[in-house]
Amino acid sequence: MKKLLVIKIGGNIIDDDNKLSSFLAEFATVAEKKILVHGGGKLATKLAGKMGIEQQMVDGRRITDAETLKIVTMVYAGYINKNIVASLQKNGCNAIGITGADGNAIQAHKRLKGQIDYGFAGDIDAVNTSLIKGLLEQGNDVVVAPITHDKNGQLLNTNADTIAQEIATAMSGLYDVSLVYGFEKAGVLMDAERDETVIPQIDPANYAELKKENVIFAGMIPKLDNAFAAIDKGVKKVIIGKAEQLGALIEGKSGTTIVRRET
225 phi, psi to nearest 5 deg: -60, -40
CA pair distance 86, 107, nearest whole angstrom = 26
Q: Are 121 and 110 in contact (CB under 8 A)?
A: yes
Question: What total of structural domains would you count in the chain?
Answer: 1
Domain extent at residue 127: 3-258
Whether residue 227 is contained in a domain is answered as yes
Q: What is the pLDDT of residue 215?
A: 82
pTM for the whole structure:
0.93
What is the CATH number for 217?
Answer: 3.40.1160.10
- The single-letter DSSP state of residue 6 is E
33-42, 96-105, 201-210 — most confident range: 96-105
Q: What is the pLDDT of residues 70-99, one digit of tens each?
A: 999 999 999 999 999 999 999 999 999 999
The 3-state DSSP class for residue 35 equals: strand
Whether residue 174 is contained in a domain is answered as yes
Please list the helix, strand and coil fractions of the chain in percent, rounded to the nearest 5, in that order. Answer: 40, 25, 35
CA pair distance 177, 166, nearest whole angstrom = 12
Whether residue 213 is contained in a domain is answered as yes
Q: Are 227 and 178 in contact (CB under 8 A)?
A: no
Whether residue 263 is contained in a domain is answered as no
Q: What is the pLDDT of residues 175-233, one digit of tens each?
A: 999 999 998 888 988 887 888 889 999 988 888 888 888 887 666 787 888 899 899 99
Whether residue 25 is contained in a domain is answered as yes
